């Protein structure tokens, strides 16, 4: 095996315990396993999240949710993204909750549920300022009543999403929008279903935004997603490959496409059989680094589709030795949050774009 991912399921359980310590006991945890569980592998990771104590699992789409059911995961599952009405029968057959953000879709779902004599489960999305999915906050009360009146349809939740949890002022505005909506429910003698707003960053920053549940994504996988002095979370994933080739490059010689790196002295370089096809961004060219022999080795030259080169001058290594792209080796480490800063990205993107074809090995003591 040339390249692979190691997933420590014990770290997921640890991270959930860290999250729970910051929550009141009655607050539910929605474990977000969308995008192939942030690159960690959907079914095995979701099973670990569920058994470690999450109350609900969340996916991005119907296919992910069905894959969990086929994998014999019986937890409540909410689909956060769009579901094509042509797939409503499958949604109902697998007993899944879907997010509703327009009334016409709710009507179509209720019709299909009535025809099949089943109950459709829905979570209503409120747009408090993200301007993505969701009913505008000022329309929700009216739309909620209309949806509530539909046959064979059960409203299980009401949720929104912070646009920028690092922006305290705008987050406070969004929080107030949702609180005002819930107050209008009280004024109209309506009992709100499960309410959730905060994802990982919002959960850590704003305890007042916890409501009935929190959606925990990035924290499950060991990252806070923002600058903090806290370091209790444990990164779950390690990405590894092996040295494919070693060669010496003379002073003045160029390395890789477009000759963007020219050796200032004689160098030993390792060819690493992993590239942007596999999920290692081309933007890390001449900036990134990997761990070889317990030392940081700089990426030199352009990252290719299936390979890149690293400077291993002074490092004792040979063909076949382990290369750590994400993870620990010896006394050093390189994790997704640090790498993401090379191209002003986020760890979510780096992790979720790791190729699904990479073998995943799961560790659990």
With a cut of 90, say whether residue 357 has pLDDT above it. Answer: yes
The pLDDT of residue 364 is 85
Q: What phi and psi values does residue 18 have, to the nearest 5 degrees?
A: -60, -45
With a cut of 90, say whether residue 30 has pLDDT above it. Answer: yes
**Residues 163-200 as b or e (16 or more Cβ within 10 Å = b):** bebeeeeebeebbebbbebeebbeeeeeebbbbbbbbb
CB 99 within 8 A of CB 123: yes
**Whole-prediction pTM value?**
0.95
For the chain, what is the radius of gyration of the CA atoms? 24
Catalytic residues: 34, 257
Q: Within 10 Å of residue 121's Cβ, how many Cβ atoms?
A: 21
Average pLDDT, the chain: 97
Helix (H, G, I), strand (E, B) or coil at 124: strand
* pLDDT tens readout for residues 110-142: 999 999 999 999 999 999 999 999 999 999 999
What is the set of domains in the chain, with CATH numbers?
9-221 (3.20.20.10), 237-363 (2.40.37.10)
* pLDDT tens readout for residues 287-314: 999 999 999 999 999 999 999 999 999 9
* pLDDT tens readout for residues 58-117: 999 999 999 999 999 999 999 999 999 999 999 999 999 999 999 999 999 999 999 999
With a cut of 90, say whether residue 1 has pLDDT above it. Answer: no
The pLDDT of residue 220 is 98
* pLDDT tens readout for residues 273-292: 999 999 999 999 999 999 99
- H-type alpha helices, 188-328: 200-205
Q: Which of 229, 205, 225 is nearest to 346 (CA)?
A: 225
């Amino acid at each position: 095996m040339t390249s692979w991912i190691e997933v420590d399921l014990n770290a997921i359980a640890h991270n959930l315990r860290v999250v729970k310590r910051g929550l009141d006991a009655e607050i539910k945890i929605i474990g977000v396993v969308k995008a192939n569980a942030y690159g960690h592998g959907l079914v095995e990771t979701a099973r670990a999240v569920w058994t470690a104590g999450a109350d609900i699992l969340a996916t991005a789409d119907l296919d992910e949710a069905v894959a969990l059911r086929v994998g014999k995961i019986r937890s409540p599952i909410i689909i956060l993204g769009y579901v094509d009405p042509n797939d409503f029968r499958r949604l109902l057959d697998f007993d899944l909750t879907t997010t509703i953000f327009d009334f016409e879709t709710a009507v179509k779902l209720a019709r299909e549920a009535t025809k099949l004599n089943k109950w459709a489960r829905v979570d209503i999305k409120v747009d408090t300022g993200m301007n993505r999915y969701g009913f505008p906050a000022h329309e929700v009360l009216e739309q909620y009543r209309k949806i509530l009146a539909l046959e064979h349809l059960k409203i299980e939740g009401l949720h929104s999403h912070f646009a920028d949890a690092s922006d305290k002022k705008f987050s406070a505005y969004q929080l107030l929008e949702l609180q005002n909506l819930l107050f209008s429910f009280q004024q109209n003698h309506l009992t709100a279903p499960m309410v959730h707003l905060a994802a990982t960053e919002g959960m850590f920053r704003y305890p007042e935004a916890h409501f009935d549940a929190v959606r925990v994504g990035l924290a499950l996988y060991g990252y806070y997603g923002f600058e903090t002095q806290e370091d209790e979370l444990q990164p779950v994933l390690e990405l590894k490959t092996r040295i494919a080739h070693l060669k010496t490059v003379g002073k003045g010689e160029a390395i890789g496409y477009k000759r963007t790196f020219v050796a200032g002295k004689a160098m030993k370089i390792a060819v690493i059989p992993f590239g942007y096809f596999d999920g290692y961004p081309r933007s890390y060219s001449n900036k990134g680094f990997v761990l070889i022999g317990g030392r940081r080795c700089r990426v030199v030259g352009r990252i290719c589709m299936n390979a890149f080169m690293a400077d291993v001058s002074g490092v004792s290594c040979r063909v076949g030795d382990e290369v750590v792209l994400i993870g620990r080796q010896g006394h050093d480490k390189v994790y997704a949050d640090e790498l993401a800063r090379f191209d002003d990205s986020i760890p979510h993107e780096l992790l979720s774009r790791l190729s699904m074809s990479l073998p995943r090995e799961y560790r659990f003591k």
